Amino acid sequence: MPSSGAVTRMKRRVLDVCCVFLASISVSHSPPGLNSSGSQLRIDRNTQIWLMAPLVKDYLSTFSDSSWPEGQKELDVIKFSTFFLTKMSDRTLLSVLNFVQAHHFGLAIEAGVLTYGPSRCGYGVEGFHDANFLRDLLRRIKRLGGVVSYLAMDEPLYFGHFATSFWKPNGGLCRFSIPELASNASGTLRDATKIFPKLKIGDIEPIINELGRSDAPPNYNASLQIWLDDFQAAFGRKLDFVHFDIAWYNESWGLSTLDADEGWILPLTTAAALIRSNGVRLGVIYNGSTDDASNLEWEQDAKRHFEMIEGELELIPDDAVIQSWDKYPNRAGPESVPGTLMNVLLSYLRWASSRPIAPRH
């Protein structure tokens, strides 16, 4: 854990910056309700629990009752990447959809919704796909009897507007204006809502560590507000949720873990206040760090992150998302084994049920 002095200094800075939002940041949500098990492990039923199905060798254990019996009782939403779903045969996908429906989980998909721009800019860039890719996947799910309840866009503001570099952008970066970005995404989303009219649309965006990264977007919160406004104007309704993907730490930055913590706290808390001031659900993705060298190390970092955000900073998200796209953890379950993704989920549930209910800053 960071030193209490570091957290206190950051909390004071946060209060100075965020006080303008205090009159409007509270969002009223009806509790998601108990799932079919009727479990009451958690104290704060206003927080929805999300789990990203892991891309690991034993991923099918995610769909086994014996692998994570306690975590299943509390889970509200299970999320899949489009890559995960498109690699499944119809037979496997059908069994997964049946499992989701039998447990009354909401089904979410994380997807790139931006289509390639002039000269096929965006080709090979995260957040972009062929115009028909998502539509065809949703039609397939519907044909098999599934219902997609949530669609989480894969960082369109960052990769479609801010990004100045990418690993292998075969078609180049588009660098859309924010109005162009909103128009582009809306076309894909209109097709999606024709297939699933009750689909809730949200966005995942990064929180860049200001101390560790040189590519922190300038005037990020101002641009985020423009994005929220322009999206609503283009699509006809506001985003249902925004989930933040935090750049916690990287050894290449040459910082200690504790110093790196101070690089993401203020960007997260100010952006969170902005999201809630717009009446949008706030989510935080809880994971480890890309440099973690083992399952246990990743789990320890993930625990440190959620304990710091909800315990030290008292920032309680509307959606708590347990997710990994890193090398670790390389096992989904069982939940009883430390270092598995299901064990991280169980650890969060037990910790959150024992902490006092904090105000939703």
pLDDT of residue 264: 92
DSSP three-state, residue 81: strand
Residue 232 lies in a domain: yes
Residue 34 lies in a domain: no
Phi and psi (nearest 5°) for 120? 55, 35
How many domains is the chain built from?
1
Residue 187 lies in a domain: yes
* pLDDT digit string, tens, across residues 33-46: 334 444 455 546 68
Residue 186 lies in a domain: yes
Residue 24 lies in a domain: no
Q: Which two tokens stand for residue 110?
A: 């994380």
Rounded to the nearest angstrom, the gap between the alpha carbon of residue 295 and the centroid of all alpha carbons in its chain is 20
pLDDT of residue 251: 65
pLDDT of residue 72: 94
Residue 32 lies in a domain: no
Distance CA 143, CA 150 (A): 18
Confidence of residue 4 (pLDDT cuts 50, 70, 90): very low
Q: Which residue has the higher pLDDT, 356 or 35?
A: 356
Lowest mean pLDDT among 3-12, 130-139, 168-177, 238-247: 3-12
Residue 52 lies in a domain: yes
CATH number at residue 87: 3.20.20.70
Can you tell me the mean pLDDT for 181-203?
Answer: 98
Instruction: Say if CB 316 and CB 272 are below 8 A apart.
Output: no
Q: Is the pLDDT of residue 357 over 60?
A: yes
CA-CA-CA-CA torsion sign (315, 317, 322, 323): negative
Helix axes of 295-307 and 341-354: crossing angle, nearest 10 degrees: 30
For residue 11, what are the domain limits? 4-18+43-353
Tell me the CA end-to-end span of the chain in Å, nearest whole number.
Answer: 21
